[in-house]
Amino acid sequence: MTRQTPPPPRPPRRLVLGLLLLLASLVLPGTTALAQGDPSFTLVNRSGQPIREVYVSASQDQYWGHDLLQTSVLANGAAMPIRIAPGAGCLQDVRVVYADGRPEERRRQDTCRITQMVFGSAAAVQSGRQANPSFNLVNHGGQPVREVYVSSVRDNAWGEDRLGTEVLPPGRHLAVRLPAGDCVNDVRIVWMDGRSEERRRLDTCRLINLVFR
């Protein structure tokens, strides 16, 4: 009579549960990162001319930060990778300045859902032709700016201080974001020593940087 080989003993239940927990601890971190998404993307220039400045910042930030191109330019037809830390979140604002000085912006872009952002496509060119009154207010003075006001010439009041509880240190700039189409605006700043300075009836649609010294 042939003897049958007995089946191998089953591992203890506690050992099985321990292995399952170990696998979960190895898999879950990657799964969480995937769920959060990667906000990095590739910026593509199809505008027909070079791009000379590129700024990318989280939508909740009031500063554009540094020009990512620095002393370089992004030639027509070229692309550049935009590396963004996952902790910066998915909603990003992007601003480019073309060689002819015309700026173009994309606001509140969910860059976790895209791999490329193209500037200069048919839709982008049409959008770029719309009047864009937003600009950068640059402090090239020797002291901080403590208050910034910008209002349409049609308004009777200056409105709220755009710096709030912050100040604008020397060498920094503030991204002043205005609704499209309202180009003629008044600007007022107050320096840290209390001295005020105003610029009246500015066509901010033709501005990239407004410098105070």
Q: Identify the band that residue 121 occupies on the pLDDT scale cut at 50, 70 and 90.
A: low
- Residue 64 pLDDT exceeds 90: no
**Pairwise CA distance, residues 182 & 176, whole Å:** 13
Structural domain span for residue 178: 135-212
Which of 128, 150, 177 finishes a domain? 128
**CA torsion, ordered 26, 41, 68, 162, to nearest 10 deg:** -90
* Domain boundary pick from 104, 128, 152: 128
CA distance 153 to 14: 75
149 and 99 belong to one structural domain? no
The whole-number average pLDDT for the span 152-158 is 92
Mean pLDDT: which of 20-24, 41-45, 61-65, 120-124 is highest? 41-45
Give the pTM.
0.49
Within a domain: 178: yes
Q: Is the same domain home to 157 and 109?
A: no
Contact 164, 93 (CB under 8 A): no
Q: What is the pLDDT of residues 73-86, one digit of tens each?
A: 999 889 999 999 98
* CATH code for the domain in which residue 94 is found: 2.60.40.2890
**Nearest Cα to Cα of residue 145 among 187, 100, 192:** 192
- As a whole number, the mean pLDDT across the chain is 82
With 0-12 / 13-18 / 19 or more C-beta atoms within 10 angstroms meaning exposed / middle / buried, residue 16 is exposed
The number of folded domains in the chain is 2
pLDDT at residue 122, as a whole number: 45
